[in-house]
Copies of this chain bind each other. A is one copy, B any other.
Amino acid sequence: MPLASLNVDTQRSPTPAETALTRRVDLTTLRLFVAVCDEQNLTRAAQREGIAASAVSKRMNDFELAFGVTLFKRLAKGMALTPAGEALLHHARVTLLNVEKIAVELSEYSQGVRGHVRMLANLSAIVQYLPEDLSAFFAAHELLRVDLQERPSGQVVRGIEEGAAEIGICAAEADSRALEAFHYRYDNLVVVMRPDHPLAGRERLLFTETLDFDHIGLHTASSIYLRSQYAATQAGKTMRLRINVPGFDAVCRMVQANMGLGLIPDRAFAVVGAGMGLRAIPLRDDWGRRELKIVVRDAAHLSATGRLMLDYLRAVETDRGGRVG
């Protein structure tokens, strides 16, 4: 039954036999192991870790013995990994990285930080609103700290669902499924171009008017990109795309280099495009005004710090509040 060895990863509770094996793993061994892998040499690895070479040798042997696995091929000129070793190396690296996060985060708490909030947000939110909002938030709550990661809107939703973070910010178009969603901000899209572009004299633009010119696309998973593609096909045309770039600053630089038109939020242009000698013209289409929303898994069961952050973000834009999802 070869198919039995197809492992679709999933969250399981450990069997007793597994916990027994788990106890044979320890972090110093792991650390030593990656050192040996890095150096491909036991002696240098031992020096680097400030420990006797024989001790390292013993640990590696014991470890191999404990799992009944050969990790290294012992060569005359050092140690080379076996396939089992390579597999271990991968996991060992991410485990150690995680432990490091623990150490860093805890030492932050010891220096007075009173709470962490893990956050996911799309690029638009990070570039335009979060710097000021978080700055103000920190001013009110000096002892809090935020771990912020950038992801496209769809993956923000997924991350919140999976518990990778407590609070997410994404485009309102994104399907937030079972998550609770609240209004955050509105966004206005502008078309960015060089001052010598044929459209540069216009005060406002319909998106269809730009379709006869080259465009510079954002990351293909970004909601701005998806939305503009949609609009183009709805108009029965296709966007003339020359390149996809990963950030608003990159869009502006491409525009500057005469690669075409860019489509980014107005405040993003104000932040990253200012001083580049470019022109930004508001989009007249209804979808030129977008909404960003806040998503959480369950507002009632947020941590104290998460709750604080959510309440703050919801209150920060006063003109138009309320629930959207």
Contacts and interface: CB of A to CB of B under 8 A. Distances in A.
Interface in A69-114: 69, 83-84, 86-88, 90-92, 94-107, 109-110, 113-114
Nearest to A90: B118
Nearest to A226: B226
A149 B8 contact: yes
Interface centre among A7, A87, A104 (most CB of B within 10 A): A87
Interface residue range, chain A: 35 or more
Nearest to A98: B95
Query: How many copies of this protein are present in the complex?
Result: 2
Contacts of A8: 148-150
B98 A134 contact: no
Nearest to A8: B148
Interface in A106-155: 106-107, 109-110, 113-116, 118, 130-131, 134-135, 138-139, 142, 144-150, 154-155
A83 B118 CA distance: 13
A318 interface: no
Main secondary structure of the interface of A (DSSP, over half): helix
Contacts of A84: 106, 109, 114-115
Given A9-B149, A100-B18, A27 B27 contact: yes
Nearest to A24: B103
A97 B139 CA distance: 36
23 contacts: A2-B134, A2-B135, A2-B139, A3-B131, A6-B131, A8-B148, A8-B149, A18-B100, A21-B103, A22-B96, A25-B102, A26-B26, A26-B27, A27-B27, A67-B103, A67-B109, A83-B109, A83-B304, A87-B106, A95-B102, A98-B98, A230-B230, A233-B234
Nearest to A152: B154
A27 B229 CA distance: 49
